[in-house]
Amino acid sequence: MIEMPDEDFDYLVELAFARIPPALTGLLDNVVLFIEDDAPAHDPDLLGFYDGTPLTERGDTYAATLPDRIVVYRGPILAMCESEAEVIEEIRITVAHEIAHHFGIDDDRLHELGYQ
């Protein structure tokens, strides 16, 4: 486990998001990014979560809905990492993984691509 000030962790999440190619981030639609301290009690090791309707499932009736949410969980990431370099890598993978869900890419395909 590594200790890290909240501001440093938040900056690393912002940096990971900024490193996603603009061709992809420009396609994000109605999405907000959150950082929360703890994962849900029913899945305490969860690193991130996408809550919403993927672009591939939105139809003509998709309108006036609350934004999709991408959540990165600080506690579980810090608990599994032993260095800042590991934190940076886990955040990078988690942010990319959750953005991919917004585009309709499922966990099986993400694992094939190396995004655990």
Does 31 fall in a domain?
Answer: yes
Does 59 fall in a domain?
Answer: no
CA distance 28 to 33: 11
Supply the pTM of this predicted model.
0.86
Contact 25, 102 (CB under 8 A): no
Domain range spanning residue 90?
6-54+66-112
Which CATH number do you get for residue 31?
Answer: 3.30.2010.20
Long-range contacts for 19-24 (Cβ within 8 Å, ≥24 apart)?
19/92, 20/95, 20/96, 20/99, 24/99, 24/103
Tokens of 53: 């309707």
Domain count, the chain: 1
**Tokens 């490193």, located at residue:** 19
Helix, strand or coil, per DSSP, at residue 24: helix
Residue 48 is predicted with a pLDDT of 96
Tens digit of pLDDT for each residue in 17-48?
Answer: 999 888 888 888 788 999 999 999 999 999 99
Does 23 fall in a domain?
Answer: yes
Does 78 fall in a domain?
Answer: yes
